[in-house]
A and B are shown apart, each in its own frame.
Chain A
Amino acid sequence: MNPADNSPLWIRGARVIDPSARRDEAKGDVFALDGRFVDRLSAADQAKARVIDGTGLVVAPGFVDLNCRLGEPGRTARETIRTGTRAAAAGGFTTVVTMPDSLPAADNVGTIQLLREICSRDAAVRVLPTGTLTKGHEGKALAPLGTMKKAGVVAVTDTTSGVQNNEIMRRALEYAAMFGLVVLDHCQDSSMTDGGQMHEGAWSLRLGLRGLPRAAEEIVVSSDCLLAELTQARIHLQHLSSGGSAEIVRRAKAKQLPVTAEVSALHLLLTDAALANYATSLKTNPPLREEADRLALLAALADGTIDAVCSDHSPCTATEKDCEFDLAPFGAATLETAFAAAHTALVVGGHADLSVLIARLTSGPARALGLAAGTLSDGAHADLVVLDPKAAWTPAKTDLVSKSGNNPLVGHALAGRVRTTFVGGRKVFGA
């Protein structure tokens, strides 16, 4: 099959899961024509269609990632749009939202236009940029949100810098809401995390590393919920890592506050115990926490308190991670393994059905940002993924197309694998 082939597409006899339409058919068909989903194909189109036998496989909308970094501009040793979007495709992601802490930061129209130009040339999947909330994500003065919105940003965030000033956060929420921009917040009170290297707990004490306490996250999750109540503006809480944070969001949602949340696939699978030998590849921010947190996050994902599973793909070079633990940068390159990791933890782990995981990878994130993605509905972009949930997969370095050298799940036994990914009816990954 020629990857550029855009002839009619017919996937036959697969389990079809489309949470946006409450569809979960044990054996169904999916059709696409001219890059869009259609409810049926004419006999003439059927005759010339590419037919894929979906027996034993699952078809779902292409995944939507709300939190990744793709290296450009400025960090091309770590990743490029070319390699990063191919990694996304390999992970089943057809729409990815990139973080604005590039070099230079995406806090101005020029940088966003540059990124969009690179994407139109090199991207294999749909890349949706975000802009910073404040200039240089320094937390001092608001970035030009309105003009950045015109330039194409889908949300604004100061990413890992967080916003440390409640007054700025409040005004930013009010101002962003005027343009319909959702504010994404990496919840962390930096006054409590100075020098922090990993979750503060028994392991950090044993390893002699400074900790990032749960409370540093929970305090900001709380203040964000209070500010959402005050402003009624949309706020999306990024990669929650603490069980306490999930509980705060559960209460906020019970009060109908306009708050959504995500969790990274890695945090569903692993805990701080995996850092026992100073594995720099698992040095992430937020950090991996304890088993009780992991279980609380899984429960919150299952009951819908957490809306989305993200990759939190933060590529680094192998050299950058080959050093003393406290000198290594934060981040794990996880686009390619996010589905397998989340599937292993949530579905194989017995916390929820596959359809719930698909919802948190498609309709959940799409709704959180109001994106026209994550659906198999008639007329929508034919972005879809074919999955083999039964496949056992121990990722090897040679399996990965990301340019980075910091996927921590290399060598880790996982269950579930992406077989094929289509964007606009064109195959971007797989056989």
Chain B
Amino acid sequence: MVLTSLGPPEPHRMAQQDTWTKKDLTGIEELSRSEIELLFRQADQFLPALAPGKGLDLMKGRTVVNLFLEPSTRTRTAFEISAKKLGAEVVSINTTASSLVKGETLRDTAENIRAMGVDAIVMRHSSAGSARYLGSVLDISVVNAGDGAHEHPTQALLDAFTLRQRFGQVEGLKVTILGDILFSRVARSNILCLSKLGAQVTLAGPATLVPAALKEAFPQVRIVHDLKEALKDCDAVMLLRIQHERQTTTHFPSLGEYTAQFGLNAERAAWLKPEAVVMHPGPINRGVEVESEVADGPRSVILEQVRNGVAVRMAVLHLCTGAISR
């Protein structure tokens, strides 16, 4: 699939990749830097289509199924809008309607959906590795919308895309990811994506949620448990949602204790460099990991992230489904 150019042709630079060959997006781990950059250039092309009343027909006649086996509003809606902006038909299946609760296997569910003539499945699933598994058993596109605590690649792509938009490039930026790293697929995808793009990543939070062993898993990161140290020289801080539903009770004493130690309020945000931005993948627990005055303040790029999420997901759907020759 060659990059689809909608405006005037972009100046072609040497060594730029412009052909996408992957039918699936299962994780950032499988992507090269040049593939990520290609995807961003494709997303750039789609930004004008985000305006109300605008839409494209690049996926006209194609069908995308959103198979969401875990609750999600934002990601599912963003994928739905992305597919519709490209002219595709969208069917959403959520947990309660799913036959998986009746004991059907994931392979059977997916093969049934495939048999109905679908072009792509966007899946969110509580099991780590499930997207890779599905991609290996199906010959249609599989896009990972979050697999357990493993990866959430489109979130990381939209985060890096937002940083690129704000700072011109991601290379050389210092990014602190703060909060529940242990259980976070957003953190894993962001560590990989930001590192591949040449940013320096710092992980911060309580030692139970940011264990020292993360350094073995991701040797390129820095780990700190002191909030001031984590914030003082970064260009961006990514806050992670404290996921009450995922943690066992032993990882920190209480939400109040978390907020007292690691919550981002105006006083602590003042430790940041003047140009540093605050990011959050949503949904926000206001008053837990972030105070409203910071979430809604001038440093916040949270709504830019949401907006860019549509363009990035359009690029993912367009490139992945386009990689299948028919």
Interface of A toward B, CB cutoff 8 Å: 194-195, 200-203, 205-210, 277-278, 319, 322-327
Q: Is the CB of B128 within 8 A of A323?
A: no
Q: Say if the beta carbon of B167 comes within 8 Å of chain A.
A: no
14 pairs, A vs B, C-beta closer than 8 Å: A202-B216, A202-B217, A203-B217, A205-B213, A205-B218, A206-B188, A207-B128, A278-B133, A322-B105, A324-B130, A325-B127, A325-B128, A325-B129, A326-B126
Which residues in A have their C-beta under 8 angstroms from that of B125? 324
Q: Say if the beta carbon of B318 comes within 8 Å of chain A.
A: no
Report Cα–Cα, A393/B245, bound state, in Å.
48
Q: How far apart are B307's CB and chain A's nearest CB, in angstroms?
A: 28
Q: How far apart are A172's CB and chain B's nearest CB, in angstroms?
A: 29
Which residues in A have their C-beta under 8 angstroms from that of B132? 277-278
Q: How far apart are B173's CB and chain A's nearest CB, in angstroms?
A: 23
Find residues 14-46 in chain B having any chain A CB closer than 8 Å to their own CB. Answer: none
Which residues in B have their C-beta under 8 angstroms from that of A208? 128-129, 147-151, 185, 188
* Chain B residue at minimum C-beta to C-beta distance from A275: B129
Tell which of B105, B128, B182, B214 touches A326, judged by Cβ atoms closer than 8 Å.
B128
Q: Which 4 A-B pairs have the closest CB atoms?
A: A208-B150, A324-B127, A278-B129, A208-B149
1/0 contact string of B53-83 vs chain A (CB within 8 Å): 0000000000000000000000000000000
Report Cα–Cα, A203/B185, bound state, in Å.
14
Which residues in B have their C-beta under 8 angstroms from that of A205? 182, 211, 213-214, 216-218
Apart from A206-B217, A209-B149, list 10 A-B contacts with CB within 8 A: A203-B217, A207-B128, A208-B151, A208-B185, A209-B128, A209-B150, A277-B132, A324-B127, A324-B129, A326-B128
Which residues in A have their C-beta under 8 angstroms from that of B151? 208
Interface centre among A201, A205, A209, A324 (most CB of B within 10 A): A324
Report Cα–Cα, A104/B216, bound state, in Å.
43
Report Cα–Cα, A322/B133, bound state, in Å.
9
Asked if A202 meets B213 with Cβ closer than 8 Å, knowing A322-B107, A324-B106, A325-B127, the reply is yes
* Chain A residue at minimum C-beta to C-beta distance from B191: A206
Which residues in A have their C-beta under 8 angstroms from that of B213? 200-202, 205
Which residues in A have their C-beta under 8 angstroms from that of B248? 194-195
Which residues in B have their C-beta under 8 angstroms from that of A210? 149
Q: Is the CB of B150 within 8 A of A326?
A: no
Q: Is the CB of B129 within 8 A of A323?
A: no
Q: Is the CB of B218 within 8 A of A206?
A: yes
